[in-house]
Amino acid sequence: MRCLLDLTGENHSEETLYRQMQFPPAPTDRPYVFLNMVSTLDGKITLGEVGDTAMGLGSSIDKELMKRLQDNAQAVIIGASTLRAGHITYPSSLWRAVVTASGNVPADCRFFAEAPDRAVVFTTERMSEEQRNALQDVAHVVVCGADRVNLSLALAFLRRQLGIERLLCEGGGELNFEMFAAGLIDEWFLTLAPKVKGGRHIPTTVEGMGLPRERVVQMQLLSVYEHEGELYLRYRRQG
């Protein structure tokens, strides 16, 4: 592994990169949020079709770095589509939250089963009573809005009710957009795999409606590491 740039003043090896992270203090009203994604050079987050996982996209080093970032978090948050895609597993000690406006997530998946006391569902008043009853058996169900999940309220719950100071976001693209749009992403760890997928229908790292020109989020590059053409980038939001 090569260090191409590191403005944090460190020079990591494959064994030490992302192992013990130093983050700024969390705000009082929400956790400090860092996003982690892997994509092709053209920004696609799957080598398959819509609804597939990121399996095969990143290298074994990328998978190890993903685990290290999880180890630096107190909780992880994902969107419903990422949960439904499957192949999601986390350390049992890690709080995990899923965002779903409709409540359409499987209550019998291992996301909940592996940590029934550390799972949260952020949802809306649109969730049916039947679905709410099923999910309440496996998770804390928190209503954060009428039609759309208010992510600021969701993160305030994590900070104030659960004491979460470091939150890892793992997508997908729709949740990432909503988090950026709400000003809730502080850092972005992005692995660029040396692959090209194409396909206008294939999801990318950030989806959604898009931001107007005056609200485009400006990021500052903190570090770049490389291994066999795969790039490991770390950005921090400016301002």
pLDDT of residue 27: 96
Give residue-wise pLDDT tens across range 54-78: 788 899 999 999 999 999 999 999 9
pLDDT of residue 18: 98
Taking 90 as the threshold, does the pLDDT of residue 51 lie above it?
no
Which residue has better confidence, 225 or 82? Answer: 225
Give residue-wise pLDDT tens across range 147-189: 999 999 999 999 999 999 999 999 999 999 999 999 999 999 9
**Bridge partners, residue 7, by sequence:** none
Give residue-wise pLDDT tens across range 188-239: 999 999 999 999 999 999 999 999 999 999 999 999 999 999 999 999 999 7
Mean pLDDT calculated for residue range 77-101: 91
Q: Report the SS3 class of residue 162.
A: coil
3-state helix, strand, coil in the chain (%, to 5): 20, 25, 55
Give the mean pLDDT of the chain: 95
Q: Where are the alpha helices (DSSP H) in the chain?
A: 60-71, 80-85, 110-113, 129-136, 151-160, 173-181
- In angstroms, the Cα distances linking 90 to 31, 35, 54, 176, 180 are 19, 16, 16, 19, 24
What residue segments make up the domains of the chain, in order of their start? Answer: 29-43+59-209+216-237
Looking at domain 29-43+59-209+216-237, its CATH architecture is 3-Layer(aba) Sandwich (3.40)
pLDDT of residue 235: 99
Taking 80 as the threshold, does the pLDDT of residue 140 lie above it?
yes
Buried b (16+ CB within 10 A) or exposed e, 54-63: beebbbebbe
Taking 90 as the threshold, does the pLDDT of residue 87 lie above it?
no
pLDDT of residue 116: 79
